[in-house]
Structure 1
Amino acid sequence: MLTYTTYSEAGGVGKTTVGAALLEAHAEHGLDVLAIDMDQQNGSLTYLLDVDAPRDDSQADNIVRHMIDRPKGDLADLIHETEHGFDLLPSHNMLENLEDLLNRAQQMADDLGEGDDFDPYDRLRQVLMDAGIPQEYDVIVVDPPATAGPHLYNAVSATRSLVIPVEPTGKGMQSVIGLEELVEGLEDRLEAEIGVLAAVPNGIGRTTDQERYLNEIHERGYPAPVALRERSSLFEGCWDQQCTPAYYVEEYRDRTRDHEMETLEKIDDLATQVEEVGGL
């Protein structure tokens, strides 16, 4: 089974768009794929995929209710099929208060003498295991927000590996360094190794500085099997039409654009290599 979290500390590097493209590629390879949207922002994977989920309904069942032991039904009932060949466990506005809700649930568990069984950073993994979700899928990918906090900690605890979109700039490299420090802390807390399946340089130009940053990514020991050129038109089009890159090219382009097909082929190659590294 392959599990990973798509994450970057830097916003605007195509984390969710590249993640959606990878999900579709895994599904195209004949794998059963589940995406879990842990991003509380409105512009999250749930929005990109145009999934009609009741994220504004505070009474509706959602992933957070399960994480704080207040579910209203089976977890499997929350999962939506998408038109892109994979399933989605959608975001909900309750994620905005996840840290506070987990802390209160932790306090309740402590008051009942059950605190040792409630780890607020490991709730997503536990909820998925209890519901038997891992047995239903070949690939599970979690998409948290681009900030450190309980959303990310739960995502990494559940997946134990990362795919990291990287902007080839000084700011982008600083986010990589910050991520390394964060991962070290999580490894200590979880008492488990967290692997990086791939770094994905995104928005590559032809400047000397960017080539230097690409070399630095390799020197830091990150596997970077593909590098994506600047494709703002393609990625912005995906958000305008709420779909994956491959779907956008097929349904909304009036002609084939070689540079976009090259990008889709690279993402497909990346999905294949991630699958191989993950043991599929």
Structure 2
Amino acid sequence: MADLGESRADYRAKTVATLCSKGGVGKSTLAAQIISDASRLGLKVLGIDLDPNGTLSRLTGTVAPVGELSIGDVLVGAARPQQVARVPVDWQPDIAFDRPWIQGGPLLPGGAVHILPAPDRGLEVTTSRSGTDAEQALLEALAVSEIGEHYDLIVVDPPASTSSTLYLALYASEHLVFPLQTESAALSGLTLTVESAIKFSSLSRRRVNGIGVVATMLDRTTEHTLTLAAAQEWMDERFKGQIGVLNPQIPRRTIVSEAGSSMVPVSRLVTGKLKNADIASRYAAVALAVVAAVTPERLEAIFDAIEKEDLPEEIADIIYAALESRAETVNTGQEN
């Protein structure tokens, strides 16, 4: 039989996207912190910014000025991802090797962060293209270039949209995280996004794995409490307990905006007295749930290293919370 073409690796299995159709929910911040925390767990991580606002690129200090190569050039076939990838120096785990893990240092060696940045402007023209070929452009670029071979985890951050840009992310990403700002208007955005992902999977016959919903910018107002409860109720009813709201939630704190302004990971701002360690730990817990879904074979080494850290009990409880809540939803789903 004639060989009509070479087989190419499908990197979807190591790719996770942060999805929400509503803006301002902390989606890009969540993506950035997953990237940072996964790298501090010893993973080589590639972040891909599909948002015309370039928030992930700006958070990591990698936005491509006009005239320089960006993810836009990759999507139209004008550049290979290897030509575009940038190394955000302040986001490399080894730059904080002398800091404890809870304060932004690496837990395991070998981690690294690279970013395929958004351009300073003009990306919306490229990402708004419709049609199967255009929507598969990111996965095609990763497969042809084989850049995915060099990473343990790929994090895709699309804009808040259900347009063709969403499908760019879905075609390339098997695993999904859904950030939810706990305000009533955001709940409809969550349901719309989840239903769009389900529809995509049904029509394309491509597997998607919902890791869970992450509540962001939470405060103790009645609206936030009711929205969170409504989100959990909807997820339980829609998925019979197989996907839910991950615990811990991430409260609203100024340290998050301070880290964004300084273009460093949140964990890097934790003080020696562990001020703000609870916020950094919550992001680390979500990253651990992502790693558990994408590269479960690494968990044993990670757990061994965490135990050696001898963390305060309240911090250790936060670290393991997302894994425990995910295990509970999986077990509930199996019972049903």
Q: Same fold (TM over 0.5)?
A: yes
| Partner Cα separation in structure 1 for residue 282 and residue 127 of structure 2 | 37
Aligned match for 2:126, one of 84, 98, 117 = 98
Q: Does 1:61 align with 2:82?
A: no
Return the offset for 1:146: 0.9
User: Residues 4, 12 of structure 1: CA spacing in aligned structure 2 closer, same or farther, 3 A cutoff?
Assistant: same
After superposition, where does 1:77-226 map in structure 2 within 5 Å?
Answer: 77-83=83-89, 84-85=91-92, 86-92=113-119, 93-99=121-127, 102=129, 119-219=133-233, 220-221=235-236, 222-223=243-244, 224-226=246-248
Q: Does 1:49 align with 2:55?
A: no
Aligned match for 1:29, one of 23, 31, 41 = 41
| Alignment partner, residue 243 of structure 1 | 264
| Partner deviation per Cα, 1:99-136 (whole Å, 9 max, x = no partner) | 46x46xx7xxxxxxxxxxx6221110011011102211
| Alignment partner, residue 39 of structure 1 | 51
Does the CA-based 8 Å contact 1:66-1:75 persist in structure 2? yes
| Alignment partner, residue 2 of structure 1 | 14
Letter in 1 for 2:30: V
| Partner Cα separation in structure 1 for residue 223 and residue 124 of structure 2 | 38
Does the CA-based 8 Å contact 2:184-2:224 persist in structure 1? no
User: Residues 55, 144 of structure 1: CA spacing in aligned structure 2 closer, same or farther, 3 A cutoff?
Assistant: farther
RMSD over equivalenced CA pairs, Å: 2.2
Identity of aligned residues (%): 21
Moved over 4 A (4+): none
| Partner Cα separation in structure 1 for residue 159 and residue 142 of structure 2 | 19
Does the CA-based 8 Å contact 1:197-1:278 persist in structure 2? no
User: Residues 143, 218 of structure 1: CA spacing in aligned structure 2 closer, same or farther, 3 A cutoff?
Assistant: same
| Alignment partner, residue 82 of structure 2 | 76
Does the CA-based 8 Å contact 1:8-1:146 persist in structure 2? yes
Does the CA-based 8 Å contact 1:2-1:275 persist in structure 2? no
| Alignment partner, residue 114 of structure 1 | none
| Partner Cα separation in structure 1 for residue 220 and residue 70 of structure 2 | 45
| Partner deviation per Cα, 1:216-247 (whole Å, 9 max, x = no partner) | 3333143313211111x112212322222123
Does the CA-based 8 Å contact 1:17-1:244 persist in structure 2? no
Return the offset for 1:16: 1.1
Letter in 2 for 1:69: G
Letter in 2 for 1:97: V
Return the offset for 1:256: 4.6
| Alignment partner, residue 10 of structure 2 | none
Return the offset for 1:196: 1.5
Structure 1: unaligned runs, 5 residues or longer: 107-117
> Normalized against structure 2, the TM-score is what?
0.69
User: Residues 99, 14 of structure 1: CA spacing in aligned structure 2 closer, same or farther, 3 A cutoff?
Assistant: closer
| Partner Cα separation in structure 2 for residue 261 and residue 66 of structure 1 | 38
| Partner Cα separation in structure 2 for residue 75 and residue 236 of structure 1 | 30
Letter in 1 for 2:83: D
Does the CA-based 8 Å contact 2:182-2:224 persist in structure 1? yes
| Partner Cα separation in structure 1 for residue 169 and residue 82 of structure 2 | 18
Matched position secondary structure for 1:80: coil
| Partner Cα separation in structure 1 for residue 265 and residue 149 of structure 2 | 26
Matched position secondary structure for 1:120: helix
Structure 2: unaligned runs, 5 residues or longer: 1-12, 93-112, 237-242, 297-336
| Partner Cα separation in structure 1 for residue 17 and residue 187 of structure 2 | 19
Does the CA-based 8 Å contact 1:166-1:199 persist in structure 2? yes
Matched position secondary structure for 2:211: strand
> Normalized against structure 1, the TM-score is what?
0.82
Letter in 1 for 2:65: R
Return the offset for 1:208: 4.0
| Alignment partner, residue 110 of structure 1 | none
Does the CA-based 8 Å contact 1:39-1:144 persist in structure 2? yes
Return the offset for 1:263: 1.0
Q: Which has the higher contact order (CA 8 A, sep 6+)?
A: 1
